[in-house]
A = this chain, B = another copy of it.
Amino acid sequence: MNIQNNERAFKPAEYKSAVKPVWCPGCGDHSVLLSIQRALAELALPPEEVAVVSGIGCSSRIPAYTNCYGFHGVHGRSLALATGLKVARPDLTVLVASGDGDGFSIGGNHFLHACRRNVDLTYIVMDNRIYGMTKGQPSPTTEPDWDTAIAPGGTGLSPFHPLVIALASGANYIARAFSGDISGCAKLIVDAIRSPGFSFVQILSPCVTFRPDQQKGWKDFIRPAMVPETDDHGRAARRLMTDDGFNIGVLFRGARPPYQPQPLDHRDPSHLEAEFVL
């Protein structure tokens, strides 16, 4: 991000639009929206200098609920869209919002390559371990025995490890948050935005409608990570590979410089003709 030295203070409410969320009452995403508002206010970023980009899903509806510039793209492609935006407009603060289906299933390839490219984006995945918007199909983070209509009795597939994938692909900042803790969540988002390069924040955000187990269940499991954050790739890999998915906090913070290709010059195109002229 590009931290502005702004003169005036901003209130969280200034980052909220008039559009009423379609989310179910109690959906974790309401809290994520609040957390983002708080984070932006804390950073005192003028709303027009922030862009929120997303794909398709309940979680991906978030851009229109903010008072920032937004792009609600197609399913799974938000990171690519955001990459183009940020490379073309390094002056903007670009947040990317996604879900476990949008981000890890159809969007998996862009996740790999956004981590690798390390453009200065903040990637927020609202992980509810289900496809909410299409009414309850398993995602790559769904438990193997979770029963759904499309996979009666469960898929039998173990969830994969998005945080390790992010690390292996080159993400520069990896954190986990819980939507139930709005201020903790907001703090992590502030930190992620401040961290240069690609920052990945997995937010456990319960789906009250298709995963009624989560709202109560998760509260029992979730805890602040015991081990302090690391910048060591090997240690981070081991730790993230074996964690149970409920450690909250910054789990890896690297030091790779962000990718921000720049023009070399601003010459008039006509000089290029020299190459053709005989």
**Measuring CB to CB, which residues of chain A are less than 8 angstroms from any residue of chain B?**
104-109, 112-113, 115-118, 140, 156-158, 160-162, 164-165, 167-170, 233-242, 256, 259, 261
User: How many copies of the chain does the oligomer comprise?
Assistant: 2
**Set B106, B157, B161, B165: member contacting A118, Cβ < 8 A:** B157
Are the C-beta atoms of B241 and A157 separated by less than 8 Å? no
Within 8 Å CB of A238, what residues of B? 234-235, 237-238, 241
**Set B117, B158, B168, B234: member contacting A170, Cβ < 8 A:** B158
Within 8 Å CB of A118, what residues of B? 157
Tell me the complex Cα distance, A237–B162, Å.
13
Which residue of the partner chain B has the closest CB to A116? B160
Q: Name which of A168, A169, A261 has the most chain B CB atoms within 10 A of its CB.
A: A168
Known interface pairs A237-B240, A241-B234, A242-B233. Does A140 touch B113 (Cβ–Cβ under 8 Å)? yes
25 contacts between A and B (CB under 8 A): A105-B113, A107-B109, A108-B113, A109-B109, A112-B165, A113-B140, A115-B160, A116-B140, A117-B157, A156-B261, A158-B256, A160-B170, A161-B169, A164-B164, A164-B167, A164-B168, A164-B237, A165-B169, A234-B242, A235-B238, A236-B241, A237-B237, A237-B242, A238-B238, A238-B241
**Set B109, B156, B241: member contacting A168, Cβ < 8 A:** B241
**Set B108, B233, B235, B241: member contacting A167, Cβ < 8 A:** B241
Tell me the complex Cα distance, A164–B240, Å.
12
Tell me the complex Cα distance, A29–B241, Å.
33
Within 8 Å CB of A115, what residues of B? 160
Tell me the complex Cα distance, A117–B157, Å.
6
